[in-house]
């Protein structure tokens, strides 16, 4: 027989070995966004998850919370700051309340087309603004995309600024958008996204404005008669992470999260490219009346608001974005 002390030593060694050999449990992360899993946000979230799993197998599991399951975008951003939510995709309509400089991208008729916007976001201006999130207790991994915002309503087609006057339109809590709508005579009504469908059904509001990606994925043709292709504002999105998650990572793990964020952005842009082409036909088939608008007239009608934007963001910044190639 072994001496008692030897048996105890061998037992202790086996137990210690079992602890060493056992793989660490994967850390579960909560990923929140306002739209459905079939939206551009959902496409971005899926790409993020797949990339993270490929880069860091077994280290993290990601649970998605679509359809504002964890609250509206303001609440989600606050959750990311507090660490109660780990990851999120949000619009700049919401981030402007936390990182005011991101509001510059919400200036109406600032961008000529999608490629112009993407070049700015991927360039020096966009990357500097991503870094601003760190000062607000947020980690911005990448710029995603929603596309250009279009106007829908149940009252009449909107082809000129005069057609827009008097319409009660849901907007985000975004002073940049609100100032522009009021200049056009629109009754801007800030409202959290989860409340919009009910408000449209009840006639509390006449319409809303969102990119085609949202108009399609949120099934707005079931609630709205008219789609006017105003393309008035380009809508970026931001892939956010909580500092409580990123702060505890190694450099290799941080690089994996950044790669996943970029993959999410690529997926969102691909979704937008597709829906910009197919979405109009889809909503027409669903019964919406679609019309073009006089963009020059709308842009001219908003000239009086631009000095306000220059004062807020600096004329040099606004014009450098406008003139970027």
Domains and CATH numbers, the chain: 26-318 (3.40.190.170)
Q: Is the dihedral of CA 280, 281, 284, 290 positive or negative?
A: positive
189-193 contacts at long range (C-beta below 8 A, 24 or more positions apart): 192/68, 192/72, 192/73, 192/74, 193/34, 193/68, 193/72, 193/73
Nearest to 174 by CA among 113, 226, 110, 103: 103
Among 112-116, 150-154, 185-189, name the one with the lowest average pLDDT. Answer: 112-116
How many helices and strands in the chain, by DSSP H and E?
A: 15, 9
Q: Is the pLDDT of residue 282 over 70?
A: yes
pLDDT at 82 (0 to 100): 97
Q: Is the pLDDT of residue 20 over 70?
A: no
The DSSP bridge partners found for residue 149 are: 211, 233
- Residue 185 backbone phi and psi in degrees, to 5: 85, 10
Nearest to 91 by CA among 238, 254, 212, 213: 238
Gap between the Cα atoms of 241 and 140, Å rounded: 6
Gap between the Cα atoms of 33 and 87, Å rounded: 9
Share above pLDDT 90 across residues of the chain, in percent, rounded to a whole number: 81
- What ranges make up the beta strands (E) of the chain? 27-33, 60-65, 87-91, 139-153, 168-171, 187-190, 207-211, 226-241, 289-292
Q: Model-level pTM?
A: 0.81
Q: Is the pLDDT of residue 150 over 60?
A: yes
Rounded mean pLDDT, 306-324: 94
């Amino acid at each position: 027989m072994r001496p008692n002390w030897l048996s105890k030593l061998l037992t202790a060694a086996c137990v210690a070995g079992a602890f060493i050999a056992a793989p660490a449990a994967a850390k579960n992360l909560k990923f929140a966004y306002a739209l459905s899993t079939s939206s551009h946000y959902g496409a971005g979230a899926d790409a993020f998850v797949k990339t993270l799993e490929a880069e860091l197998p077994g280290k993290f599991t990601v649970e998605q919370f679509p359809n504002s399951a964890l609250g509206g975008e303001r609440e989600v951003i606050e959750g990311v700051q507090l660490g109660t939510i780990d990851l999120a995709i949000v619009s700049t309509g919401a981030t402007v309340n936390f990182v005011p400089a991101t509001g510059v991208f919400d200036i109406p008729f600032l961008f000529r087309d999608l490629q112009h916007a993407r070049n700015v976001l991927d360039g020096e201006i966009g990357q500097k603004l991503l870094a601003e999130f760190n000062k607000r207790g947020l980690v911005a991994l990448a710029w995603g995309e929603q596309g250009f915002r279009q106007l829908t309503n149940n009252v009449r087609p909107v082809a000129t600024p005069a057609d827009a006057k008097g319409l009660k339109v849901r907007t985000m809590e975004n002073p940049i958008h609100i100032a522009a709508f009021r200049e056009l005579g629109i009754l801007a009504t800030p409202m959290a996204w989860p409340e919009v469908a009910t408000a449209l059904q009840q006639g509390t509001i006449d319409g809303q404005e969102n990119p085609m990606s949202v108009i399609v994925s949120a099934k707005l043709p079931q609630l709205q008669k008219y789609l006017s292709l105003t393309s008035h504002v380009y809508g970026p999105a931001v892939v956010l992470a909580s500092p409580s998650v990123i702060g505890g990572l190694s450099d290799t793990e941080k690089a994996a999260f950044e790669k996943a964020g970029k993959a999410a952005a690529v997926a969102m842009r691909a979704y937008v490219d597709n829906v910009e082409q197919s979405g109009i036909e889809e909503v027409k088939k669903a019964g919406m009346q679609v019309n073009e608008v006089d963009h020059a007239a709308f842009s001219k009608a908003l000239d009086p608001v631009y000095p306000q934007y220059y004062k807020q963001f600096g004329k040099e910044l606004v014009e450098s974005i406008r003139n970027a190639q």
